[in-house]
Amino acid sequence: MKNIKNIKKEIKQIAEKETPQFQSWLQQNNQRINDQLNNAPFRRQTVTKPNRLAKWAIACACMMIFVVVSLPFVLKTTQTPGSPTYENSEVWGLLIDDEKSYEYLHSIGCNLTLTYLNGHESYTQDNELVLANIRGHYEIVGDYYIFNFTFLLNDAYPFAKESYESLTEKVVVGDYTIYYGEGKASLLKAAYLLKIQYKGNVCYLHVDCFERSLESLIALLTNTQN
């Protein structure tokens, strides 16, 4: 097993890679921002002051960041005839603070304090909350976890939950019922898919980790570790 210092270094590199700097992002999307400014209906045919232009650029950039953040979680599923669904263009994302992120985690009995915490909510054009996604990292002696929690709050939202709903292996610990299976590792060496049921609340969880120790992971999520 890798030295824990090397593990921390690798994880820091992953986190930094997942979160590009704003200036880099702005350079890559400069043309899209300019298009937004040029097509704005409130634009006047006058010389725009530099500071006002900067404010509009920042506002447009923030709006586009929200959209970019939400897009990875908008996945197509088979539509049931007669049931309403929301297309990608009808859903927008809003970043949420740490306090709100932990409210979601506590709703499934997860009391972990995560690093690199990042949370967002997805809304329809009518401001209906349809999904929440919380990401974060957690370290224990001998292993490191990257968590991706998804809370589906409206079945009309096209989140691909089939991989989680098809899980058959389960464990019951107190108020927790957890369905589990191996997933496809994307960042670290191993990955797990879990469907967590806790006091009427449901969460879909993807976990990347170094060690294949499902027992340790379950104990961590259910607060039963030694």
CA-CA-CA-CA torsion sign (134, 176, 178, 8): positive
Helices then strands, each counted (H, E), the chain: 7, 8
What is the separation, in whole angstroms, between the first and last Cα of the chain? Answer: 21
Asked if residue 112 has pLDDT above 70, the reply is: yes
Does the pLDDT value for residue 70 go beyond 60?
A: no
Beta strands in the chain (DSSP E): 91-96, 115-124, 129-140, 143-152, 169-173, 176-182, 190-198, 201-209
**Band of pLDDT at residue 118, cut at 50, 70 and 90:** very high
The pLDDT, as a whole number, for residue 213 is 85
Does 179 have pLDDT greater than 70? yes
The stretch 30-53 carries a mean pLDDT of: 49
Average pLDDT over residues 56-80: 45
Mean pLDDT confidence for 120-142? 93
Whether pLDDT at 2 is above 80: no
Question: Which of 37 and 193 is assigned the larger pLDDT?
Answer: 193
* Torsion angle, alpha carbons of 100, 105, 106, 111, to 10: -120
By the 8 A CB rule, do 222 and 173 touch?
Answer: yes
